[in-house]
């Protein structure tokens, strides 16, 4: 029974970690092309596609009952894009607005590298702890007691911050160079590829070592808690 519960917890944590890629990237671009195929103009199709991540951001704030700064930022960007499009009629701004959010997150990641808990402390936690309460407690304890753990988090925060800024630059370049119908798919492909590369390189840059530190901390706690 406990093994089944653990598998459900791990599966839920994995799905939660992948949900931003699915609902904030893949679903909107799929909805845009669907609406475009139905004859909807570029601007309203892009705006309608952006409603999905906007509603997810609002839901995240309401569900937690407290401000989620990333969710609030994404919702604000969507509203600002509507205002800008209303005045300019430019559908390209709807595409490029995501890059503004990526720039903010990239700068936040770089700035957080010198904080006690960098951005990667929070983004890597669901992947490595799989939502298990004991692992979450060990994760917090390592942040307070392990210099190596903090050093790896700092390195990963710098790596991800730099990578996200590069991803934003690529997206902006695509939007500037290609027509909207082509750019909508290309920016999504670029995002998936670049984020995929960042994820793959995160392992050898410190992700694997973080996993081992966490496993060692869990083993130590289990040994201390077992009867002699």
How far apart are the C-alpha atoms of 30 and 164, rounded to whole Å? Answer: 23
Q: What is the pLDDT of residue 162?
A: 96
At 205 the pLDDT is 92
Across 9-13, 19-23, 91-95, 157-161, least confident range? 9-13
Show me where the domains of the chain are located. Answer: 2-221
Q: What share of the chain is helix, strand, coil (3-state, %, to 5)?
A: 90, 0, 10
Which residues, other chains included, contact 193 with Cβ-Cβ below 8 Å and sequence gap of 6+?
none
What pLDDT sits at residue 140?
93
What's the pLDDT score for residue 25?
Answer: 62
Please give the C-alpha separations between residue 85 and each of 38, 47, 97, 98, in angstroms, as whole numbers: 21, 9, 11, 14
Instruction: Give tens-digit pLDDT for 63-113.
Output: 766 555 555 656 666 666 666 666 666 777 777 777 877 888 899 899 999
Q: Which candidate, 32, 77, 51, 20, places its Cα nearest to that of 185?
A: 32
Whole-number Cα distances in Å, 177 to 66, 99, 182, 210: 40, 15, 10, 40
Per-residue pLDDT tens digits for 30-71: 776 787 778 777 667 767 777 777 777 677 667 766 555 555
């Amino acid at each position: 029974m406990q093994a089944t519960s653990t598998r459900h917890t791990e599966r839920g944590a994995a799905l939660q970690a992948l949900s931003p890629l699915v609902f904030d990237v893949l679903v909107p671009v799929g909805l845009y092309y669907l609406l475009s195929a139905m004859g909807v103009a570029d601007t309203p199709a892009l705006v309608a596609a952006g409603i999905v991540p906007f509603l997810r951001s609002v839901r995240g704030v309401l569900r937690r009952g407290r401000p989620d700064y990333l969710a609030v930022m994404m919702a604000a960007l969507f509203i600002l894009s509507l205002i800008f499009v209303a005045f300019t009629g430019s559908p390209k701004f709807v595409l490029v607005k995501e890059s503004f959010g990526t720039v903010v997150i990239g700068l936040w990641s770089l700035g957080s590298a010198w904080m006690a808990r960098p951005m990667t402390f929070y983004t890597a936690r669901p992947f490595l702890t799989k939502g298990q309460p004991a692992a979450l407690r060990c994760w917090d304890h390592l942040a307070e007691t392990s210099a190596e753990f903090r050093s790896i988090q700092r390195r990963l925060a710098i790596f991800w911050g730099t990578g996200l800024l590069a991803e934003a630059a690529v997206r902006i370049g695509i939007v500037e160079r290609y027509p909207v119908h082509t750019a909508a798919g290309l920016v999504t492909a670029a995002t998936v590829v670049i984020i995929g590369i960042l994820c793959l390189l995160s392992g050898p840059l410190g992700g694997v070592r973080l996993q081992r530190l966490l496993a060692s901390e869990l083993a130590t706690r289990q040994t201390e808690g077992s009867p002699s």
